[in-house]
Structure 1
Amino acid sequence: MTTATTAPDRPGLRDRLRRDWFRLRFELAMQDYPPKDYRRIARSLVAEIDAAAADTGMEQALRDLGSPRRLAAGYHAELGRERPRYWDGGLVLGLVLLGAWLCLLAYWGGAADTLLAQGGGTVTLEYLGAPTTVTATGDELSLGTSLTLQGVLVVGGLAAVGFALGSRLWRLLPRRTASAA
């Protein structure tokens, strides 16, 4: 006769989804926390949630923890200073590049439309340091552009400023403390 050892019950799909949704919101709120420490905290949080859920149910266990943002704020208060938010910076960087690309498309479209309104022709224009030749006639529509160092520097500068502002890079600078006079 063999005896079976019972493993702790694995939470059901609905409970796992609730737990993972809570953990995702907690992770977003903790994005500027030191990664090594965050991984340790996240592992222990999941273990605590599962242990509490085994006793009281997942819904009550998550309710007892409160808001993921408020929980993250408690951990941030222990750090003593704010850190950059690199994911936010990456998002702003992407939006800046998307905006520059959409403006470029609108610029090209406007140039082609203007040429067509004047009966067609060819014109060479410059957008953010990149020379572009636009040809628009009743039979043809073409665009030709080339990459220049000036264009790379302008777009790279815009992207860098967007990333720095979005991620709040100034948080890396050491804080000055008021000296006693």
Structure 2
Amino acid sequence: MSWRKPYLVGHQEFAALYRVDPTMISQWLAPSRRVLDPSTAIVVSGVRYWPLGFAARFGATTKRFRQVDFDAKSRIIAEQGAGWEADLGDELPPLLGQQEIIEMFHLPSQGTLATTIATGRFPASDWLLSGSMLWMLDTVLMAVPALRESARSLPWDVDEAVVTALRDGTYVGPGSRVFTRGRHARKAV
């Protein structure tokens, strides 16, 4: 791929930027705390991710100033390779996790995708954030011919409606929402 990917952070990377436990990010998101607005994140496979630019300036926007750890930021950038620092979710290309990929190809199960990834037939993920693999939509679409060629029985047909929804930011299928857990679950919209 000739273009660079944006730097992203998940809960663990966000926490590393401020030298806090990853569970603190969930506390900052809690309706009772309202420190971190959930709408600042993008949701991929039911998990929130943030552009690194937003995450790095977040500490200066809170009532209680939090200093970003520039060494942690440098490590995140080094781990992700060549890229650029996006600030808003609107600046990001369409991103996929396993749930969106399963929906896009109408795969029979998560195990089918997991096996394809484990055997090296699926393209390498663009990110590994907080233990989860993420891909840019174009990374996956460019791999379709190779997926079809290596497949024994799956057609690897792309659902163009899902692709269009992902590109337009209107995707509402599996993985498009974070399901609230804990004491706030009943209060969730």
Q: What TM-score comes out, normalization by structure 1 length?
A: 0.27
Query: Could you say which structure has the greater relative contact order, defined with CA pairs below 8 angstroms and 6 or more residues apart?
Result: 2
Structure (1 or 2) with the greater helix fraction = 1
Name which one, 1 or 2, has greater alpha-carbon Rg.
1
Q: What TM-score comes out, normalization by structure 2 length?
A: 0.26
